[in-house]
Amino acid sequence: MDDTAKVEELLSVCRGKASILILPHNNPDPDSLASSGALQYLLEQKAGISSTIAYGGILGREENRTFKKLMQIKAVRLRSTHFKRFSSLALIDCQPGSGNVTLPPTEKPLIVIDHHSRKKSTRGDFIDIQPDCGATATILVEYLQTAEIGVPPLLATALYYALISETQHLGREVTDREIRASTFLFPLVRHRLISRIEHPVHSREFFQQLYSSLGRTFTYKSFVGARLGTIYYPSFVAQLADLLVSLKRCTWCFVTGRYRKTLHLSLRTTHTRARAGKLLQKVIGGRGSAGGHDMIAGGQIKLAGLSAEDKNKLEETLFKRLFKELGLPEDLKPNPLVIENETQGKIGPPGFPGNQAESSSIQGI
């Protein structure tokens, strides 16, 4: 189907609907939020249909909170009453069975637009799933171009940020289509806002989380792993995994963390054709859900009803299964990433903050 026919079909399945509920995935990232905003704009401009964007979970990462605020994306927290008020649903950057979207099992969406691999159970009146695409935002930019409607500067900025954040500035999991979409948006983008999103103000809590997380990180040859225990927002596992995979000589990185009653998992690799998404699905098995691409993958497992011991066992099993898949010994001897030293917890000797004691044990400094 060519692009014009596709956009026509999208609009035709929406005609006659009073309003539509747009669902980005839970704990939404810029790709799912900007794509939701683009669909909202397209439906309003071309079909006169109003819609509401609602997300489950929370916006934790400061970049994403700043993004939502500066881009003025009107997304509200999802409530169960939304499903009573709206009979038509659009799932964006996720699918009914993908495990990262809150959807009553009886609901069949009207629209599904995603760039993760297609779930067998995915149903809908209009389905556009393109796993070869680097971002859902790319698909939406192409719709807007096809529909020949002007893109307002804030929406262009949001979509552009979605493209660069999803692909690490057009470097990871990127195709020619992301390059073309970002080139189209570039002259419309308000670049100062992009800079503000990329350099957000962080809370003290964030640094505490980072500090304790690095203390829980281990390495074995080119593998880096971390079991973070309780985290203060779910997407922190992905954020930390992106940081840790940048460790020199690291080729694989796996991070787990618990938020409320869910275990969140994030897998990263430097291998460009590793099918990390499939690997994580295999490691999780029937315990939960996972999705991803070649170099990045994420997943969730429900922890409700498990004892503290069961939760620990589960995480141990996941790590061991991953080690096996990667050809590492299951009982490998991990090395800590960072080494504690005797100045730990102290600012230094009396005097100016940061003064080091003569007997500092930090080697080589």
Nearer to Mn ion, 49 or 140 (CB): 140
User: Residue 346 Cβ, how far from Mn ion at the closest point, in Å?
Assistant: 43
Sign of the CA dihedral with 163 first, then 167, 168, and 174 last: negative
Distance CA(13)–CA(7), nearest Å, equals 10
Question: Phi and psi at residue 89, in whole multiples of 5°?
Answer: -120, 145
**CB closer to Mn ion, 24 vs 257:** 24
Span of 42-50, 55-63, 93-101, 204-212 interacting with Mn ion by CB under 5 A: 93-101
Q: Is residue 128 involved in binding Mn ion (CB under 5 A)?
A: no
- Which residue among 93, 128, 142, 173 contacts Mn ion (CB under 5 A)? 93
Is the distance from CB of 149 to CB of 134 less than 8 angstroms? no
Q: Nearest to Mn ion by Cβ — which residue?
A: 31
Which CB, 241 or 326, lies closer to Mn ion?
241
Stretch that binds Mn ion, among 88-96, 295-303, 309-317, 339-347 (CB under 5 A): 88-96
Nearest to 160 by CA among 6, 35, 44, 43: 35
Task: Looking at the chain, list the stretches that DSSP marks H as alpha helix, in order from N- to C-terminal side.
Answer: 3-14, 30-47, 62-70, 80-85, 136-147, 153-166, 176-185, 191-198, 204-215, 236-244, 276-284, 308-325
Nearer to Mn ion by Cβ, of 34 and 49: the residue is 34
CB of 209 to Mn ion, least distance (A): 24
How would DSSP label each residue in 119-152?
PTT---SEEEE-TTSS-HHHHHHHHHHHHT-PPP
**CB of 63: closest distance to Mn ion in angstroms?**
15
Binding segment toward Mn ion, per CB under 5 A, in 130-138, 202-210, 307-315, 346-354: 130-138
* Binding residue for Mn ion, selected from 20, 24, 30, 31, defined by CB under 5 A: 31
Q: Choose between 171 and 353: whose C-beta lies nearer to Mn ion.
A: 171
For the bound state, the minimum distance from the C-beta of residue 332 to Mn ion, rounded and expressed in Å, comes to: 32
φ/ψ of residue 168, rounded to 5: 50, 65
Backbone φ and ψ for 50, nearest 5 degrees, come out as -90, 155
Interface of this chain with Mn ion, residues 134 to 163, rule: CB under 5 A? 136
Instruction: Please state the closest distance from residue 6 (CB atom) to Mn ion, in A.
Output: 19
Site for Mn ion (CB under 5 A): how many residues?
Answer: 3
Question: Residue 257: helix, strand or coil by DSSP?
Answer: strand
**Residues at the site binding Mn ion, with contacts judged by CB under 5 A:** 31, 93, 136
